[in-house]
Amino acid sequence: MADPLARRDADLVAAAAGGDQQAFRELYRAYARPVYWLAHGLLGDTADAEDVMQETFLVAWRRLPTLDLVSESLLPWLVTICRFQSANRMRRQRRDRLNTAGAVDEMLPATVNVEEQVIGSALAERVIAELGTLSPLDQQIFHLCATEGYAYAAAAEELGVSHAVVRNRLSRVRTKLRTVVETEGT
């Protein structure tokens, strides 16, 4: 039996495509580092590069049975997969940034409306009292989004909760404050 380290990529690919996990491990050991560094160079972030490296090898594992290895090295094929995975990740990140930037527009308008609508100290005192009745988490969400200008996703990350939690709780706070403003105005 030939030394496993001396096996050519084509033999390893054929074996891995047939379900030989050891062959795939050898390919992984041989090419994980170059794939990682390519991903890191494209993305500039260690965690993202590690994720893309793993995604690249997952895609490779799934597609090995259909691969017709043209060159002696598997690396060019892995590089192509890595570039696509990196591009996909950059698109997702860009989309997420745009969505979170758009979420800034969804900030609690009650803060501005309250400031503009404060006619007397009674209304201001009522709003402050209402904010004091909020749970500590709601107060933190209100502070981050309304006072500090955080987007929902940024506030969620800061507080260790989901985007949906911030959005839903802020909506309830907004409704509560609108009710206070409307009842004081009538």
Task: Report the candidate in 108, 112, 102 with the shortest Cα–Cα distance to residue 141.
Answer: 108
CB-CB contact of 14 with 1 (8 Å): no
* Confidence class for position 65, pLDDT limits 50, 70, 90: confident
Task: Band the pLDDT of 120: cuts 50, 70, 90.
Answer: very low
Q: Which residues contact 63 (CB under 8 A, 6 or more apart)?
A: 81
Q: How far apart are the C-alpha atoms of 161 and 42, rounded to whole Å?
A: 30
With cut-offs at 50, 70 and 90, classify the pLDDT of residue 118: very low
| Higher per-residue confidence, 163 vs 7 | 163
Q: Cα–Cα distances in Å, from 114 out to 32, 110, 126, 142, 179?
A: 56, 6, 11, 13, 11
- The pLDDT score that the predictor gives to residue 127 is 66
Cα–Cα distance, 56 to 97 (Å, whole number) = 24
**84 or 184, greater pLDDT:** 84
The answer to whether 114 touches 181, Cβ cutoff 8 Å, is yes
Q: Is the pLDDT of residue 110 over 50?
A: no
pLDDT of residue 25: 92
- Higher-confidence position of 148 and 97: 97
89: pLDDT strictly greater than 60: yes
- 117, 180 Cβ separation under 8 angstroms: no
Is the model's pLDDT at 70 over the cut of 70?
no
Q: In which band, very low, low, confident or very high, does the pLDDT at 185 lie, cut at 50, 70 and 90? A: low
Mean pLDDT of all residues in the chain? Answer: 78
Q: What is the pLDDT of residue 56?
A: 93
Q: How far is CA 89 from the centre of its chain?
A: 9
Q: Can you tell me the mean pLDDT for 164-174?
A: 87
**Which residue matches tokens 């745009």?**
98
- Domains along the chain with CATH numbers: 4-102 (1.10.1740.10), 107-185 (1.10.10.10)
pLDDT (tens digit per residue) in 40-53? 888 888 999 999 99
C-alpha to C-alpha distance for 121 and 17, rounded to whole angstroms: 75
Report which residue type is found at 150. Y
Supply the pLDDT for residue 115.
Answer: 43
Distance, CA of 116 to CA of 101 (rounded, Å): 24
Q: CA-CA distance, 33 to 177, in Å (whole number)?
A: 55
